[in-house]
Amino acid sequence: MYHHPVLLDLSKLLIKNQDRYEAHDKAKPIIKQLCQDRDFLHETLRGCLHNPSLLQNANQLMIPLLNSGDIIISINFFCPIRDEIENITHDNIHHHGWRLLTTGVMSGDGYETINFIRGSHNDRAGNIVKLKIEEIYRHISGEPRFIDSNQAHVVFHNQSLCSTLAVWSADRIIATQSIKRRLERFPTVRKLAVKAIHSIGLNNVLKLNPLHGTYYHPEDGKIIQTKNYTKPFDGNREEILGCWFKFFEQVGFNSADFWGNLKKQAPLEAIPLINKLISNEPIPDVGIWGNPRRHFSKTQILQAIDHSVQSDAI
């Protein structure tokens, strides 16, 4: 897979720093600059899309740029929902285990999100998860944001597409992630090894990130842990590619020569989008239908949080 030299340097900054919090703080101005650098972005996209499988396998609202052990860099998309209901969650409330995340807006008007106090998902009363709000805000261009490990948060669908550059790492040096990094040339072996470790219950011992127990949702006026949650694909290829190509339009990635060559290997769903892109015909910003299991309103969440606070006060 193609890796832009700047992203390799950014990954080294994170890998080599014993203090991962300090590393993310140092990464913020770099991420801010990269979010505004269209030459960097276009070169990165040309390198990634050189692999025809990227469009063929599009099923998530993200484009992977680099994956090295615990270090992940990607372009993430936050889009409208096709039934146009406002303030509906993009996904369940969740945290990322031991991962730290610094993210900057690359295109669009940003997105609405709620961050909860780190670790407050561990405060339970029976099946009630007593999350506590740290901040409700809109993530906008020019202001990179940081999300701590084990910090629950939730993002809401936009009225128009927004993209971010997301940079992840573990919150500390983890030996198993260094081993995983050495297996990058053998992805099948790496996947089988990780799957085997989880299946025999050694993920905690070997410090792998948890697969379960990290998702929550409002139900009957309270926040509870989501059971048996396996994150589904974000949408079918037609929905996802519609978001990808709206992003390409937003950032001016519309070279007729590049897309004319790529069209020969592109999936059928991409052909009309490529034609619109190179002819400067507006691409509809309709987003995805999404999965109803991941749809909750901001009102439901805030009312459930308020109910929990009132119960504590009694």
What is the per-residue pLDDT across 106-143, written as a single tens digit (0 to 9) for each? Answer: 999 999 999 999 999 999 999 999 999 999 999 999 99
Check residue 195 and give its pLDDT.
45
Helix (H), strand (E) at residue 217: strand 215-219
Nearest to 76 by CA among 145, 177, 148, 9: 145
Phi and psi torsions of 263, nearest 5°: -60, -25
Q: How confident is the model at residue 274 (pLDDT cuts 50, 70, 90)?
A: very high
Nearest to 302 by CA among 112, 110, 125, 104: 112
Orientation of helix 20-36 relative to helix 5-16, angle to 10°: 160
| 8 A C-beta contact, residue 128 and residue 223 | yes
Check residue 205 and give its pLDDT.
39
* 3-state SS, residue 182: helix
Check residue 124 and give its pLDDT.
94
* 3-state SS, residue 194: helix
pLDDT for 66-78, tens place per residue?
Answer: 998 899 999 999 9
Strands across the sheet containing 62-68: 62-68, 71-78, 162-170, 99-107, 145-147
Q: Residue 269 has what DSSP assignment?
A: G
pLDDT for 89-101, tens place per residue?
Answer: 999 999 999 999 9
- Give how far the C-alpha of residue 76 lies from the chain's centroid of Cα atoms, to the nearest Å: 5
CA dist 143 and 109 (Å) reads 12
Q: How confident is the model at residue 190 (pLDDT cuts 50, 70, 90)?
A: very low
Distances (CA, A) of 1 to 48, 65, 247: 7, 8, 21
Nearest to 298 by CA among 218, 234, 224: 218
What percentage of residues in the chain have a pLDDT greater than 70? Answer: 86
At residue 231, what is the residue type?
K
CB atoms within 10 A of CB 224: 16
Please say if the pLDDT value at position 206 is more than 50. Answer: no
**Fold of domain 5-229+290-313:** Jelly Rolls (2.60.120)
Check residue 204 and give its pLDDT.
52
Question: In terms of pLDDT, which residue wins out, 162 or 182?
Answer: 162
CA dist 103 and 88 (Å) reads 21
* 3-state SS, residue 294: helix
List the chain domain ranges: 5-229+290-313
When computed from its CA atoms, the radius of gyration of the chain, rounded to whole angstroms, is 20
Q: pTM for this one?
A: 0.88
Check residue 213 and give its pLDDT.
74
Q: In the chain, which ranges are continuous DSSP H helix?
A: 5-16, 20-36, 38-49, 53-56, 175-182, 187-199, 237-250, 256-262, 271-278, 298-313
Check residue 83 and give its pLDDT.
87
